[in-house]
Amino acid sequence: MQEISTKLNEALELLHEKKFSSLRALLSTMEPADLAELLSSLPSEQLPLMFRFLPKELAADTFVEMDSELQQQLISAFSDNELTSLIEDIYLDDAADIVDEMPANVAQRILARASAATRAEINEILKYPKNSAGSIMTTEYVRLRPTMTVAEAFDIIRRTGIDKETVYTCYVTDDKRKLIGVVSALTLLTSEKTALIGDIMSTRVISVKTTDDKEFVAHQLEKYDFLALPVVDSEDRIIGIVTVDDAVDVIIDEYSEDLSIMSAVTPTDKPYLKQSVMRIWIDRIPWLLLLMISATFTGIIIRSFENALAAQVALTAFIPMLMDTGGNSGSQASVSVIRGISLRELEFSNLFQVMWKEFRVSILCGITLSITAFIKIQLVDNLIMKNNISLGVSATVCSTLVLTVVFAKFIGSVLPLCAKKLGFDPAVMASPLVTTILDAVVLLVYFMFATVFLKI
C-alpha cells in the first residue's frame, strides 16, 4: 500500500509539471489492480485526466478493477467515442457486470454506444438469473471444429486470441454447436501441425448448465483444477465459459457472505473503510433489534419461574454458563455441517447419518461437560468458595448440560441441511437467531429439572 501512495505522488507531480510521456511510462509499469487503487485516491476532478494517460488496453483492464462509483464518474466524463472504445475493449462478462450495476440511464448510454454484436452478447449474459452460471460466464472463447488441423487452430488463436478471455482451453463443437471435446493449448503445441483436432482432443468433457448455481460452478472448477469450464444450454450446445478468476471471486464472495450472515450483519461488497457510519448502522441494527426482541421469550420464561429463582438464588448464577454452552455446542455442530455443505461433501440425503453422528458426539460431550461441572461445583464453589451449592442444584445443572448439548447439536446439525433442501442459505442457520432459540430451550430444560430435583 505504501508503494501505491508513493507512485500516486510521483504521478501527480509529473502531471503538474506536464511531463506527460514520463507519466505515461510510469503508469504503464503498473498492474490494473494497483492502478485502480491509485486512481481511487485521486481528487475526482483529476480522475478522467489521469485515466486518459493509460494505454488503451491497460485502461480497459483498470476500468474493470475500479468500484462502480468511480466507473460512473469516469463514464460521465467520457465522450461517446471514448465510451465505445472502452466497452469494446473489456471482456463481455465484465461489461455485463458494469451494465448491471449502473443506474438505468448510464446503462442505457453504455448499451447505445456498444456495437450491435457486443450489445447482443451483453444482453444474452444479462438475461440469466442473478446467481446462475449464465450470469458469470463470458461468451468469448475459442471454438474449434474436429475437422480442423492444428495449424488451422493456431491461425484462429492468432487471429482472434487477443479478444478471448482464455485461449488455453479450446472447445470443440459439431455442426449444431454441441460440445464434443476440449483441447488445451499445451496439447496443440506438442502435436504435429497436420494432426486433426478430432484426433487429439479429449472427449472427457465436464460442463455446467447455464442455470446451475454459480457457487456450484466455482466448486467444480476448483475440484477439477480447470482454468475454465464450458457452460452449455439444455441441448448441450456451448453458450459460454466461466474462467478461474471469476470462480475465485465467487468463492471469496460466498465466504464473506457466510461470515456476515453468521454474525447477523447484512452482507455487503463494499470495503469496510468506504462504508459510511449510517450504512453500517443500517446493515447491523435490524438484526440487533430482531434478536433483542426475540430475547423477550427468555425473559418470559425466567419471569414465570421467578418464584423458583427467588427460593433458590443459586440457580441464577448458572444461567449464563448454561446458555453459552448451549449456543457454543449448537454452533459447533452447525458450522461442521455448513462447511460440509459448502465443500459439497454433505447433502440432505445424509440427514440421518449426520443426526446419528451428532447424537453420539453430543452424548460424549454432554457427559464430559456434566462430570467436569459437577467436580468444579464441589471443589471450587463448595470447598474453596464456600457457596454451599446443594446437591439438588448440582443435579439440575448437570442434567441440563447433557440434555442441552444433545438438543443443541441436534438443532445445529439438522437446520442447515433443511435450509439447504428448502433453497435457503445454510449459513442462516448458524446465525444468532438459532442461539436465541436455543437460549429459550436451555432455560425451559433448566427449570424443568429444577422442578424435578428441587421440588419447586
Residue list 217-246, contact with its own copies (CB under 8 A): 221-225, 227, 244-245
E strand map for 176-263: 179-184, 208-209, 228-232, 238-243
Give the nearer residue to its own copies in terms of CB position, either 210 or 329: 329
**Binding of its own copies by 309 (CB under 8 A):** yes
Q: Which of residues 363-382 bind its own copies (CB under 8 A)?
A: 364-365, 368-369, 372-373, 376, 380
Q: How far is the CB of 203 from its own copies (least distance, A)?
A: 7
Residue bearing cell 488451422:
152
Is the distance from CB of 227 to CB of 166 less than 8 angstroms?
yes
CA pseudo-torsion sign 90, 168, 127, 347: negative
Give the nearer residue to its own copies in terms of CB position, either 147 or 372: 372
**Binding of its own copies by 107 (CB under 8 A):** no
Q: How far apart are CA 210 and CA 168, in angstroms?
A: 22
Residue 25 DSSP one-character state: H
Binds its own copies (CB under 8 A): choice among 340, 392, 416, 426: 340
The DSSP H or E segment spanning 166 is strand 166-173
Q: How far apart are CA 433 and CA 230, in angstroms?
A: 39
Residue bearing cell 438475461:
127
Binds its own copies (CB under 8 A): choice among 118, 425, 436, 454: 436
**Binding of its own copies by 175 (CB under 8 A):** no
Number of neighbouring beta carbons within 10 Å of residue 267: 14
Q: Which of residues 42-101 bind its own copies (CB under 8 A)?
A: none
Binds its own copies (CB under 8 A): choice among 210, 332, 396, 399: 332
Q: How far is the CB of 193 from its own copies (least distance, A)?
A: 12
Residue 180 C-beta-side C-alpha neighbours within 13 Å: 15
Q: How far is the CB of 243 from its own copies (least distance, A)?
A: 9
CA pseudo-torsion sign 64, 69, 72, 78: negative
Q: How far is the CB of 335 from its own copies (least distance, A)?
A: 4
Among candidate residues 80, 23, 84, 79, the one with its CA nearest the CA of residue 50: 23
Q: Which of residues 381-400 bind its own copies (CB under 8 A)?
A: 387
Q: How far apart are CA 254 and CA 217, in angstroms?
A: 12
Give the nearer residue to its own copies in terms of CB position, either 110 or 346: 346
Residue 382 DSSP one-character state: I
Give the nearer residue to its own copies in terms of CB position, either 109 or 168: 168
Binds its own copies (CB under 8 A): choice among 203, 384, 388, 422: 203
Binds its own copies (CB under 8 A): choice among 439, 441, 447, 453: 439
How far is residue 27 CA from its own chain's centroid?
32
Q: Which of residues 259-288 bind its own copies (CB under 8 A)?
A: 259-260, 262-265, 271-273, 277-278, 280-281, 284-285, 287-288
Which range of residues in 13-21, 30-38, 67-75, 106-114 is near its own copies by CB under 8 A? 30-38
Give the nearer residue to its own copies in terms of CB position, either 135 or 336: 336
Give the nearer residue to its own copies in terms of CB position, either 52 or 344: 344
Binds its own copies (CB under 8 A): choice among 49, 117, 151, 321: 321
Residue 148 C-beta-side C-alpha neighbours within 13 Å: 21
Q: How far apart are CA 452 and CA 84, in angstroms?
A: 78
Q: Which of residues 120-159 bind its own copies (CB under 8 A)?
A: 154, 157-158
